[in-house]
Amino acid sequence: MWAPEEQAAFFGGDPDNFGYPRFNLDVALFRAYENGQPAKVEHYLKWNPAGTKEGDLVFLTGHPGSTQRLITFAELEYARDVQVPASLRWLKSREVLLNSFSKSSPENARRALDEVRTIENSRKVWDGRIAGLLDPELIAAKQAEENALRKFAQDKPELGASDAWDKIAQAQRVIAQNAVRYNLLENYLFNSDYFSIARRLVRSAAERGKPNGERLTEYRDSAKTTFELGLFSGKPIYADLEQVKVQHFLTILATELGANDPVVKTVLAGKSPAVRAAELVNGTKVADVATRKALYAQDSATLAKSDDPMIQLALAIDAPARALRRTIEQQAEIKEQAHARIAKVRYAKDGDAVSPDATFTLRLSLGTVKGIDVGGEKIEPYTQIGGVYTRAEERGFTSPYDLPENWLKLKDRLDLSVPYNFISTNYSIGGNSGSPTINRKGEFIGIIFDGNIHTLVWNYAYTETQARSVSVDVRAIIETMKKIYGAEPLVKELLGSN
């Protein structure tokens, strides 16, 4: 129904992402229809055009994706020493690769744009997490918390959980021993859409012959519709970009496991990464949706006779990849059972005072509109619309600090003092973006679109020292809709004044 230009919504791009001050109109409005007519909804969030002031109590709704606040210290150490560093190495190597590819031509930049943005965002997430995991105060607090819980369990043997932490630590050691190979053979998918398609074709043929309950989760009947939508998507895949990405992965595979590793030898087939990547990408036919559908209809025996190099590659490494997956899933099950016992201890000790980890279920967090003190200097909780022009001018109006033409042409219409973005102490994490920020009366006063870099440690522990959620202010939405986008009738409808 209404949305601003990308330049307004994503002003500042990756350099400003997870930062503050911010100047983004990252919001879109949709109209819901029922029986072909605009839906009549009895209960909804009324808009309050007055917004908020510093110190106001505000609430944030949404479906936060996942947190790891209740993991054990052994799991925390694994995240700090193994998982997060490995993820950062993988993301940063891909970021360098894709940025280099993008600089070759404007068309290359366009093709790689979505993936570059995804990687940039993910890389900052992991950067924020490692910063928290390397904070001695956070680590000490988590250790003290676990020590108290373990002592409580030891003092109450009837709870049957005194060895649960050791079970998790042992399982985590097994996971750590297999993590590199598991990621390379099972998770990273050769950094290739072609290989991802080939693996799904190979595994779907194998899994269809099993009872539904014994299949890998993603191949069960309940996932069939979603699975097929993804498999037969007409999303464009660019062969030149695929070749660059596959060569990059093959180089990392050989570097990490060693050139004499049996799997590496099988994958490279006696060729260099560059030659093998060209052979795989140029020889496969899985880019064609009709070909995918034909291959999808085949059973395992027929598919095994395919001369498609990507299909043959997926077949060649399927057994070792599945073995690694079984190992990781077995250890995960051990951990899950141990965590269930720890949960009983936690409930016996603290009752319902401890919030469960986020799981994409609906949550409501509370906080206050509050600035940040950094080295004795206060960062105010609000930015103003005028600030976006100042920031753009300071950076020469060059991407990602360029402004839409209408914003430049209609600047004089705007009240530049209107609050644009604001920060609050509300807990948020991935999954919250796009959720309404509301006041104590349940009125819409903004929409969250980000958090600063310090919020990323909320995955492990909550602190409000410097961590802040970032919302678009309702006043900026109204001001720009009326004066930049000519949507005054829609504003009146939203405010109930038409």
CB count in 10 Å sphere of residue 329: 12
- The residues with which 384 forms a beta bridge, in sequence order, are 419
Rounded Cα distance between 224 and 263, Å, is 31
Q: Please check the confidence at residue 175 and state whether its pLDDT lies above 60.
A: yes
> Tokens 């990756």 map to which residue?
14
CA distances from 159 to 25, 162, 342, 356, 362 (A): 52, 8, 9, 20, 31
At 338 the three-state DSSP class reads helix
Rg (CA), the chain: 26
**Cα separation, 415 vs 337, whole angstroms:** 58
8 A C-beta contact, residue 217 and residue 223: yes
Burial of 349 (0-12, 13-18, 19+ CB in 10 A): middle
CA distance 369 to 423: 6
Kindly tell me if the per-residue pLDDT of 431 is higher than 80. Answer: yes
Question: What DSSP element (H or E) covers 424?
Answer: strand 419-424
What would the DSSP string read from start to end of 183-196?
IIIIISGGG-HHHH
Architecture of the CATH domain 6-67+357-494:
Beta Barrel (2.40)
pLDDT tens per residue across span 395-405: 999 999 999 99
Given this model, what pLDDT does residue 354 score?
84
470 pLDDT more than 80: yes
Q: Which of 331, 334, 339 is nearest to 149 (CA)?
A: 339
**Could you tell me the pLDDT band of residue 219, with boundaries at 50, 70 and 90?**
very high
CA distance 411 to 336: 56
Please give the torsion angle defined by the CA atoms of residues 226, 227, 233 and 239, in that order, rounded to the nearest 10 degrees.
150
Q: Which residue has the tokens 């307004």?
A: 8
User: CA 379 to CA 18: how far, in whole Å?
Assistant: 15
- Of 405, 471, 462, nearest to 433 (Cα)? 471
Write out pLDDT tens, residues 4-34: 999 999 999 999 999 999 999 999 999 999 9
Q: State how far the Cα of 420 lies from the Cα of 407, in Å rounded to an integer.
A: 14
Task: Evaluate if residue 496 carries a pLDDT over 90.
Answer: no
**Which pLDDT value is given to residue 427?**
93
Q: How many helices (H) and strands (E) does the chain have?
A: 20, 11
Contact 451, 64 (CB under 8 A): no
**Mean pLDDT for all residues in the chain:** 95
pLDDT digit string (tens) for 226-245? 999 999 999 999 999 999 99
Q: Any bridge partners for residue 478, and if so which?
A: none
For 135-164, write each residue's pLDDT tens digit: 999 999 999 999 999 999 999 999 999 999
CB 73 within 8 Å of CB 150? no
What does the DSSP 8-state code read for residue 29? B
- The DSSP bridge pattern shows strands 436-439 and 57-62 to be antiparallel
Q: Which residues contact 207 (CB under 8 A, 6 or more apart)?
A: 215, 216, 219
Residues 6+ apart with CB under 8 A from 459: 66, 67, 68, 69, 129, 132, 429
How are beta strands 372-374 and 377-379 bridged, if at all? Answer: antiparallel
pLDDT over 60 (residue 252): yes
Identify the band that residue 498 occupies on the pLDDT scale cut at 50, 70 and 90: low
The domain ranges of the chain are: 6-67+357-494, 79-324
DSSP 37: E
φ and ψ of 188, to 5 deg: -80, -15
Averaged pLDDT, 90-105: 96
Alpha carbons 451 and 457: distance in angstroms, whole number: 11
Cβ atoms 191, 246 nearer than 8 A? yes
Instruction: Determine contact, residues 253/320, Cβ cutoff 8 Å.
Output: no
Rounded to two decimals, the pTM is 0.86
Mean pLDDT, to the nearest integer, of 480-487? 97
Query: Beta strand pairing status for 444-451 and 469-473?
Result: antiparallel
CB 446 within 8 A of CB 474: yes
Mean pLDDT across the stretch 367-383? Answer: 93
Closest alpha carbon to 201 in 319, 324, 320, 311: 311
Given a cut of 60, whether residue 248 has pLDDT beyond it is yes
| Digit-coded pLDDT (tens) for 272-313 | 999 999 999 999 999 999 999 999 999 999 999 999 999 999
- Helix H or strand E segment including 394: helix 385-394
Q: What is the pLDDT of residues 19-74, one digit of tens each?
A: 999 999 999 999 999 999 999 888 999 999 999 999 999 999 999 988 999 999 99
